[in-house]
């Protein structure tokens, strides 16, 4: 008990503890009170048979519990609790038995611990008293601090002493032997230390060699311009940045650093992560009618023994290819109206009815098999240009994003949350391809037109192509200048000469970044005659051009079909004007020779020929025949027709047609004679006046 009268809370208290879950009645009165409170008839309703039955059930349960635990316990010494029910009974509290067993085991363990502690305490105290009493003779001051007071009063101090029984034999010889043993042991220790130092020096030298090799590789990588710093996720490891911070995908930004760990031999082991563990590239393939005629080049996969800088570059190219492929798919979803189709493993752009361009992400070493480079692979350079252009455009997009990030422009909440729009990568490529297609179709159309005119005897007909050359921009770097020119409007200029009096300028503008992206517009203007520029030295007035009054151009033509339609109609009117000029010249010559010729020729209402002003029955009409190779292909001029209407000697109308076809150009080149336009028109327009008069009278 403590001084306050409460039970001691010490864990080593010898006072027996009460079981924690003791629910049995504390007395007979408590049991009777419980029975009266829980049973309808109270204590007087109990019967002996019910009590005996409850006792038997209690004994059976206790025996089964004792069989499981392996302990033997008297079944008749349990606690009895009387409770109400349908009949009288005494129920054994199993929870109380378990609590008593646990309390008994705890008490036994505590008693054992206390007994062992007491034994150890007594043993140590006796040992301390013995040693203190022994030391009290030599060092009484120190011994008094640990000597028991009762023992001191009982026996006193200095009563125990120790002496040597025998002196050592040959003490000096043994001392010499001990010195020799110690000296030998020291020599052995020195030799062992020297061996360990040599081994440590060898290991240190090897470690220095490995470290030197490792840091030399790190320095080489840094010297090539790669950013080298501590790894963001592991500051104790050096790393090299091969990715791009301006990527639109967080995974690409998170995998921009490669840990440069040291291998066992001192070389650098790059830990690039799973995203760039397999080298991949974007492959551009050109197909025509299902046959591959052009493909971009693919490098060989780097070996494990390749230099570190090469492996870093390969990792950079791999993550760039994956980001490029991701951006191509993002942009392709917005270009479905431009004949761009998304497939599970490729993106296909249909240039025309026969040609397609396919973009694919391939693993180096597993690229698809195609025909080897040879005469059939004529588009390899074109495909390589498209592939390089895509990479340059992605780098340009990264640079633009970095410049925007450096400028502190406040963003609204919607702008901060909204995702970044896809980069314009395929759009400029489509614009270039469409511009190239437009240029080729324009050149093919003008070549066929000028060829037919030259075949008809107009030797001045022809065209001159001049592509617009951009001057270098001195304020920008070479790469920035190249990208600026790539995204600038594409232009070409063609000077078309139909007759000596009719010249036109055709300017094609390919739109790369404007709202008309992917299309080419045309601007057609009239040029003065070459003879007027030569004589005066300055361009003549626009009114002298034959088309200025007959059929002036509208200026801008948004589509290729509209521009070609104007050129066809303008050519027919120029030919009619040329025919009228020839007729006037021949008429003047006839009058100088005093020939009777009073016919007056004028351009008809359609503008594609001339007619006799008096009768209207005689005349010449021009027609250009064209064919189209496909739905998207430009029309190709194949034939120039001259339809002549005359009156025969009997006064009946006669119709005759002369034509010049494109295949006649090859015949003329081989020496075959072809009738010229003047040779055809002169007999028709310059018939004798008497015949014309008689024909006119007969016709009337």
Q: In the predicted model, is pLDDT for residue 518 greater than 70?
A: no
Q: In the predicted model, is pLDDT for residue 151 greater than 80?
A: yes
Distances in whole angstroms, Cα of residue 430 to Cα of each of 32, 327, 349, 553: 103, 15, 8, 29
Q: Determine if residue 70 is left, alpha or beta; phi over 0 gives left, psi from -120 to 50 gives alpha, anything else beta.
A: left
Percent over 70 (pLDDT), the chain: 78
pLDDT in tens, 126-146: 999 889 988 888 888 888 888
| Total count of residues recorded for the chain | 700
3-class state of residue 50 by DSSP: helix
Domain ranges of the chain: 228-407, 429-699
List, as one string, the DSSP characters of 469-518: -PPP-TTS-HHHHHHHHHTSPEEEEEEEEEETTEEEEEEEEE-SSSTTTT
Residue 10: Cβ-neighbour burial (10 angstroms; 0-12, 13-18, 19+)? exposed
Q: Region 540-554: what's the mean pLDDT?
A: 73
At CA 332, angle to CA 329 and CA 338, rounded to 5?
165
Instruction: Pick the range with the lowest mean pLDDT from 321-335, 372-386, 471-485.
Output: 471-485
- 438: tokens are 């437009």
User: CA Rg, the chain, in Å?
Assistant: 57
User: How far apart, in whole angstroms, are the C-alpha atoms of residue 239 and residue 256?
Assistant: 10
Q: Region 632-656: what's the mean pLDDT?
A: 76
pLDDT in tens, 317-340: 999 999 999 999 999 998 888 889
Q: In the predicted model, is pLDDT for residue 420 greater than 50?
A: yes
Q: In the predicted model, is pLDDT for residue 244 greater than 50?
A: yes
573, 547 Cβ separation under 8 angstroms: yes
Averaged pLDDT score across all residues of the chain:
78
Q: Which helix (H) or strand (E) holds 223?
A: helix 171-223
3-class state of residue 328 by DSSP: helix
Q: Region 203-219: what's the mean pLDDT?
A: 92
3-state helix, strand, coil in the chain (%, to 5): 45, 20, 35
Predicted local distance difference test score (pLDDT) of residue 189: 94
Predicted local distance difference test score (pLDDT) of residue 412: 59
More confident residue, 315 or 376: 315
649, 550 Cβ separation under 8 angstroms: no
Residue 660: Cβ-neighbour burial (10 angstroms; 0-12, 13-18, 19+)? buried
- 515: tokens are 């709202």
């Amino acid at each position: 008990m403590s001084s306050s009268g409460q039970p001691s809370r010490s864990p080593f208290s010898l006072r027996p503890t009460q079981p924690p879950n003791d629910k049995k009645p504390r007395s007979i009165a408590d049991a009777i009170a419980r029975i009266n409170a829980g049973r309808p008839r109270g204590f007087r309703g109990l019967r002996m048979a019910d009590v005996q039955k409850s006792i038997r059930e209690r004994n059976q349960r206790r025996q089964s519990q004792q069989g499981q635990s392996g302990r033997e316990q008297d079944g008749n010494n349990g606690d009895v609790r009387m409770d109400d029910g349908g009949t009288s009974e005494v129920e054994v509290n199993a929870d109380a038995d378990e609590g008593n067993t646990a309390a008994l085991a705890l008490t036994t363990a505590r008693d054992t611990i206390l007994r062992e502690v007491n034994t150890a305490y007594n043993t140590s105290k006796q040992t301390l008293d013995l040693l203190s009493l022994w030391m009290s003779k030599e060092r009484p001051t120190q011994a008094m601090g640990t000597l028991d007071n009762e023992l001191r009063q009982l026996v006193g101090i200095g009563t125990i002493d120790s002496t040597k029984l025998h002196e050592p034999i040959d003490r000096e010889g043994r001392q010499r032997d001990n010195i020799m043993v110690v000296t030998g042991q020291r020599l052995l220790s020195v030799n062992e230390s020297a061996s360990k130092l040599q081994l440590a020096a060898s290991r240190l030298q090897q470690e220095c060699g490995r470290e030197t090799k490792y840091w030399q590789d790190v320095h080489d990588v840094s010297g090539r311009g790669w950013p080298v710093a501590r790894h963001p996720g592991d500051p104790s490891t050096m790393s090299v940045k091969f990715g791009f911070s301006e990527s639109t995908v967080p995974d690409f930004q998170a995998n921009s650093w490669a840990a440069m760990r040291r291998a066992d031999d001192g070389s650098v082991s790059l830990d690039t992560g799973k995203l760039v563990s397999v080298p991949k590239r974007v492959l551009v393939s050109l197909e025509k009618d299902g046959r591959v005629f052009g493909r971009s080049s693919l490098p060989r996969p780097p070996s494990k023994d390749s230099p570190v800088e090469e492996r870093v570059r390969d990792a950079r190219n791999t993550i760039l290819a994956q980001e490029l492929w991701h951006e191509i798919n993002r942009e392709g979803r917005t270009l479905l109206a431009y004949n761009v189709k998304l497939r599970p493993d490729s993106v296909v752009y249909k240039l025309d009815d026969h040609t397609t361009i396919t973009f694919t992400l391939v693993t180096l070493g597993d690229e698809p098999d195609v025909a080897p480079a040879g005469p059939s692979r004529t588009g390899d350079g074109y495909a390589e240009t498209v592939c390089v252009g895509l990479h340059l455009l992605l780098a340009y997009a990264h640079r633009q994003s970095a410049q925007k990030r450096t400028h502190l422009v406040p963003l609204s909440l919607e702008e901060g949350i909204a995702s970044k729009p896809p980069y314009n990568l395929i759009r400029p490529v489509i614009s270039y391809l469409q511009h190239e297609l437009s240029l080729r179709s324009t050149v093919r159309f003008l070549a066929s037109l000028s060829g037919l005119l030259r075949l008809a005897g107009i030797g001045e007909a022809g065209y001159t192509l001049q592509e617009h050359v951009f001057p270098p921009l001195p304020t920008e770097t070479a790469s920035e200048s190249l990208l600026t020119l790539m995204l600038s409007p594409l232009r070409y200029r063609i000077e078309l000469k139909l007759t000596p009096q009719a010249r036109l300028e055709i300017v094609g503008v390919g739109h790369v970044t404007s709202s008309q992206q992917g299309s080419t517009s045309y601007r057609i203007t009239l040029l003065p005659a070459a003879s007027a520029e030569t004589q005066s030295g300055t361009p003549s007035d626009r009114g002298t051009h034959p088309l200025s009054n007959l059929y002036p151009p509208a200026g801008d033509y948004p589509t290729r079909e509209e521009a070609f339609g104007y050129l066809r109609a303008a050519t027919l009117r120029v030919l009619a004007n040329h025919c009228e000029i020839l007729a006037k010249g021949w008429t003047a010559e006839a009058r100088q020779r005093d020939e009777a010729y009073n016919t007056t020729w004028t351009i008809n209402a359609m503008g594609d020929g001339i007619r006799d002003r008096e009768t209207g029955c005689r005349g010449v009409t021009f027609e250009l025949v064209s064919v189209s190779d496909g739905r998207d292909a430009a029309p190709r001029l194949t034939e120039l027709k001259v339809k002549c209407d005359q009156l025969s000697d009997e006064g009946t109308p006669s119709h005759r047609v002369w034509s010049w076809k494109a295949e006649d150009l090859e015949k003329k080149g081989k020496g075959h004679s072809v009738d010229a336009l003047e040779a055809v028109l002169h007999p028709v327009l310059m018939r004798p006046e008497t015949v014309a008069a008689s024909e006119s009278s007969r016709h009337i």
